Structure 1
Amino acid sequence: MEMHNVGIVVESLDNAIEFFTEIGLILEGRMMVEGEWAGRVTGLGDQSVEVAMMVTPDGHSRLELSQFLRPQTIADHRTNPVNSLGYLRVMFRVDNLDELLGRLEKHGGKVVDEVVQFGDVYRLCYIRGVEGLLIGLAEQLGNTKATDILEDNE
């Protein structure tokens, strides 16, 4: 089994693609998904959605960005706090957190509180990114991984 992608609905596909490209994802493809057949999958009936598939440089993880043209979106959960039910956040491991935060700030990205250090494993933070989406960023320090610490505590 393999997880193929995580989907996020956005207002502006162009802005979202630009933002996630800045993080390091690569636009794999962009297309319209329209018609009643698609609505039978989602339960929305006749729909029109523009979709962009973003992929991590290693090719293993994908983010599917969707902009609904029809029907209109009916709820907005983008600015809910981290302890809300449902979608929480997407976390990316990055190479140079401080440099990336400077670049993302130009695209509206703002650190939620502060950058913290988790032992000698990660420097990490949550940001509110494009359209207020909650994004986690973690810079790995050394060779220890968080899973190694979790296994030691079992």
Structure 2
Amino acid sequence: MALQRMDNVGIVVEDLDAAVAFFTELGLETEGTAQIEGLFADQAVGLDGVRSDIAMMRTPDGHGRLELAQYHHPAAIGGGSQNTPPNTLGLHRVMFAVDDIDDTIARLRLHGAELIGEVARYKDIYRLCYLRGPSGIILALAERTG
């Protein structure tokens, strides 16, 4: 048997509507939404009484997807501070290629995004930055310049 593909990356958020608005502004499209509960959910994630809402977001090219989930029961558990540094163990960040990094930062700031460092240049190839988005999610942006 062979691996077929990476299907999606799941991110638990505090406010699903805010997270959907943030990633929609970035350029992702809502593929679908659902309420998740029942025995299959309990069995799949190993929790009892799961009740959550999810939104599946896809990149414009159709190859990448994020599953955003807001847990109603059991309540989401904080992984520590929402201001954890980028070198914290665990899921590091999600990176997106963009056409115009400055415009993207400006649009995402309207949805609460904060630049973690500054926009940096890697040789004459990329402009890169890290942003903190909803629920403390770290997002990386890359604009190809050369």
TM-score exceeds 0.5: yes
Aligned length: 142
1:1-150 map, 5 Å: 1-77=4-80, 78-142=82-146
Residue identity (%): 49
CA distance in 2 between partners of 1:134 and 1:86 (Å): 12
CA distance in 2 between partners of 1:100 and 1:83 (Å): 24
Q: Where has structure 1 moved over 6 Å in runs of 4 or more?
A: none
Cα deviation, 1:95-119, whole Å, max 9, x if unaligned, reads 1000111111111111101000011
| C-alpha displacement of 1:73 | 1.3
Asked if the contact 1:79/1:134 (under 8 Å) is kept, the reply is no
CA distance in 1 between partners of 2:87 and 2:68 (Å): 23
TM-score w.r.t. the length of structure 2 is: 0.93
Higher relative CO (Cα under 8 Å, sequence separation at least 6) belongs to 2
Cα deviation, 1:124-145, whole Å, max 9, x if unaligned, reads 1001112221110110113xxx
The answer for unaligned runs of 5 or more in structure 1 is 143-154
Cα deviation, 1:16-46, whole Å, max 9, x if unaligned, reads 0000011110000000010122110100122
CA distance in 1 between partners of 2:51 and 2:33 (Å): 14
TM-score w.r.t. the length of structure 1 is: 0.89
Asked if the contact 1:48/1:68 (under 8 Å) is kept, the reply is yes
The answer for unaligned runs of 5 or more in structure 2 is none
CA distance in 1 between partners of 2:55 and 2:8 (Å): 11
Out of 65-74 and 78-87, give the one that drifted further.
78-87
Alignment correspondent of 1:149: none
